[in-house]
Amino acid sequence: MIPFSSLQMRKNLLATCGIVLASFASAQILLDNQFNDWSNVTHFEAGDGVGSFVSVGVTSNESWLFVHVILTDEVGLDEEVLPNDLKILLDLDDDLETGVNYADLGLGVDLLVDLPNRQAIRYTGGTGAESLNDIGLHVSPTYSANEFELAFHRESTEVVDSDIRLMWYNGATGEGFPSGGAPHAVSEALSPWQPQSLDRADGTLNRVAFWNMNNRMDQSGAQASMERILQAINPDIIGFSEVSDESPNFVEGLLNQWLPLEDGATWNVIKDDYDLMVAAKGSIVEGYDEVYRQFPVLVEGHAGWGVPLLVTSSHLKCCGGNSSEAQRQSEADEYMAFLRDAITGEGNGPTLPANTPLIYGGDLNMVGLAGPIHTLKTGDISDEDSNGADFTPDWDGSSLTEWPLLQSDSPMDYTWTNTSGEWMPGKLDYLITSDASATVLHGFTLRTDIMSSDRLAQYGLQSGDALSASDHYIVVADLGLGSLVGTLPDSDEDGTTDNLDNCIDIANATQNDFNNDGVGDACSDSDGDGISDALEITLYNTDPLSVDSDGDGVVDGLELCVCSTANLCPGDLTNDLVVSVGDLLLLLGLFGSAC
């Protein structure tokens, strides 16, 4: 059991990983299974080291009532995989005379939330049991833990009065915490969520996406939404799941139609033996479909990596029950055994070069027990008799990083929703990387139904696109080099790394590009007259869009030729294949000479 006072020290992933997701300056609570943003919220501490509860905190903004709880024991909060009888009692007007004095705890309970049975009972103004979706409840994490953060949608929960009181109750032991309930003056002081840009972060080598397609890729209505989403996001590599009914050629055709590549290039798509695919703008080196419900694929990404990426599209076993729990853990074990052997060069699979970027994502169905996600991050294999020894999977001898990506327009991390069912929205789709070789510079899940009309128009989207395309939101991340790999090359040493340089082999610190064609003036000859745009603009005062600027019938390149002895580059008197100040000085010394 770890007391709340140590949370900030042990929950500092966002700061240490440098991911661009949000600023904590606004004190906005993020439902992301990272708890350092609760450090400035007053908590009620048990302090005695006994009982079911350690700490409870409550805060709010204009839309949400947020709750943070630390429990003594690990539980699956909204199911009975680890049995519990936890309830949340809400006195929505802080008045003992209204509602029900539930279990004689001294609260006028207007709303009771029965977590393991996934229902809410409204004692004031209600008509019986409601679903947790009806009261707008979200929880993170979706899997078992002893620490959770929850968000109640204020309008759905009917948090309208200025003062409320909240208590956690363990029906198995009769404990209520904190005693008398936690009073809270509802506030709008926390700043509202600021939507994230969908644009690529500076320094991005490859944008990756993972998407459970819910077997809708052959449905015309869904296809229109998929097309708009992919055009707005424009990923380089995509891991698909639930595409059992589609062939690689079919998906390749859709991608070539929706996201056409330059110079006649085509998307490359590979499929495993069931419902997983990996699609890439670059070449696909090899796929390994022997790993059950996970499909590792070597993909040629940006040249800046120096090696192919190992991209794994995953779809672990769904849902609850002992057999599903055991299978999901077995699948996580099997993948980590594959990865261990690929890193060490043992077994029959691939041997990965040192610092190969490891990109793992998809629908992990992380409900129930936390064991599978723990294994996938740490290399702690549950069944070592069948899968071999534990190992540390990142190249720097540490765990892999599971990135806490949030919705682009909401401070929530859930990626799946079905509001008509009994289950709350949950985070089922994940992104895990070897941050020593591949860090995440920016990432999000795309949920369109809460985007403003201006944001939708900006990115060419429609409000219903996300849920028309699938019941899972697409997960997107911009990848850059990790700390172990070092820095990107700068071939011409002009201060701009090759991945951002518009002239990789010619130094051009200004990066000038007069016609915004993506090629720097220093290495562009827009009119094909043999003189670079930069020289025409800055030295010769000729028109970079006209081969004969003065209209005398002589091409600019011939008219301005100063008779380089190598005859390779107009104006290159020093024969160094660069027209520079040195050539100009030499030219000045030749005035009066006969060519």
Domain boundaries, the chain: 4-185, 206-481
DSSP-derived 3-state class of residue 14: helix
pLDDT confidence of residue 12: 37
Largest CA distance in the chain: 109
How buried is residue 173: exposed, middle or buried, by Cβ count under 10 Å (0-12/13-18/19+)? exposed
pLDDT confidence of residue 14: 36
Which pLDDT band holds residue 492 (cuts at 50, 70, 90)? confident
- For residue range 392-410, list pLDDT tens digits in order: 999 999 999 999 999 999 9
When pLDDT is averaged across residues 515-542 and rounded to a whole number, the result is 85
pLDDT confidence of residue 81: 84
Please tell me the distance from the alpha carbon of residue 473 to that of residue 466, in angstroms, as a whole number: 6
Which pLDDT band holds residue 499 (cuts at 50, 70, 90)? low
Say if residue 2's pLDDT is above 50.
Answer: no
Lowest-pLDDT range of 89-98, 191-200, 424-433, 486-495 = 486-495
pLDDT confidence of residue 593: 56
User: b/e string for 299-331 if b means 16 or more Cβ within 10 A?
Assistant: bbbbebbbbbbbbbbbbbbeebeeebbebbbbb
Which pLDDT band holds residue 563 (cuts at 50, 70, 90)? very low
Residue 72 phi/psi, 5-degree rounding, is -70, -40
More confidently predicted of 136 and 18: 136
Q: Average pLDDT over the chain, rounded to whole?
A: 88
Beta-strand relationship, 309-315 and 358-363: parallel
- For residue range 359-386, list pLDDT tens digits in order: 999 999 999 999 999 999 999 999 999 9
Say if residue 579's pLDDT is above 80.
Answer: no
Tokens encoding 53: 């509860």
Smallest CA-to-CA distance from 77 within 131, 115, 117, 31 is with 115
Say if residue 25's pLDDT is above 50.
Answer: no
Direct distance between the N- and C-terminal alpha carbons of the chain, in angstroms, rounded to an integer: 88
Please tell me the distance from the alpha carbon of residue 25 to that of residue 158, in angstroms, as a whole number: 28
% of the chain at pLDDT higher than 70: 87
Say if residue 509's pLDDT is above 60.
Answer: yes
Q: Which CATH number fits domain 4-185: 1.10.1660, 3.40.1000, 1.10.260, 2.60.40?
A: 2.60.40
Say if residue 15's pLDDT is above 50.
Answer: no
pLDDT confidence of residue 566: 46
When pLDDT is averaged across residues 92-105 and rounded to a whole number, the result is 93
Say if residue 311's pLDDT is above 80.
Answer: yes
Say if residue 345's pLDDT is above 70.
Answer: yes
Please tell me the distance from the alpha carbon of residue 19 to that of residue 21, in angstroms, as a whole number: 6
Smallest CA-to-CA distance from 119 within 67, 79, 158 is with 79
pLDDT confidence of residue 422: 86
- For residue range 48-71, list pLDDT tens digits in order: 767 999 999 999 988 899 999 999
Tokens encoding 184: 């809270």
DSSP conformation letters of 158-188: T--SSEEEEEEEETTTTEEEEEEEEEEE---
Tokens encoding 162: 């200025």
Tokens encoding 332: 């996580």
Smallest CA-to-CA distance from 33 within 58, 59, 53, 7 is with 7
Say if residue 236's pLDDT is above 90.
Answer: yes
Residue 265 phi/psi, 5-degree rounding, is -70, 160
Contacts of 453 (CB under 8 A, 6+ apart): none
pLDDT confidence of residue 401: 97
More confidently predicted of 111 and 50: 111
Say if residue 3's pLDDT is above 70.
Answer: no
Q: What is the pTM of this model?
A: 0.79
When pLDDT is averaged across residues 184-206 and rounded to a whole number, the result is 88
Q: Are 562 and 571 in contact (CB under 8 A)?
A: yes
pLDDT confidence of residue 524: 87
Per-residue CA distances from 2 to 5, 47, 72, 177 (Å): 8, 12, 9, 18
Smallest CA-to-CA distance from 31 within 470, 363, 426 is with 426
- For residue range 255-286, list pLDDT tens digits in order: 999 999 998 999 999 999 999 999 999 999 99
When pLDDT is averaged across residues 209-234 and rounded to a whole number, the result is 97
Which pLDDT band holds residue 592 (cuts at 50, 70, 90)? low
CA angle in degrees (0–180, nearest 5) for 90-96-102: 55
Say if residue 73's pLDDT is above 90.
Answer: yes
Tokens encoding 363: 């629908």
Which pLDDT band holds residue 461 (cuts at 50, 70, 90)? very high
% of the chain at pLDDT higher than 90: 68
Under CATH, what is the fold of the domain 206-481? Answer: Deoxyribonuclease I; Chain A (3.60.10)
pLDDT confidence of residue 493: 78
Lowest-pLDDT range of 71-80, 143-152, 327-336, 472-481 = 71-80
DSSP-derived 3-state class of residue 154: helix
Tokens encoding 311: 């991209």
What is the 8-class DSSP label of residue 594? -
Please tell me the distance from the alpha carbon of residue 356 to that of residue 311, in angstroms, as a whole number: 10
Q: Are 278 and 238 in contact (CB under 8 A)?
A: yes
When pLDDT is averaged across residues 200-206 and rounded to a whole number, the result is 96
pLDDT confidence of residue 582: 64
Q: What is the chain's alpha carbon radius of gyration, rounded to the nearest angstrom?
A: 29
CA angle in degrees (0–180, nearest 5) for 229-233-238: 90
Q: Other C-beta atoms within 10 Å of 165: how many? A: 24
More confidently predicted of 178 and 321: 178
The sheet with strand 163-170 has its strands ordered as 128-131, 119-122, 111-114, 86-91, 163-170, 175-185
Which pLDDT band holds residue 332 (cuts at 50, 70, 90)? very high
Please tell me the distance from the alpha carbon of residue 461 to that of residue 233, in angstroms, as a whole number: 10
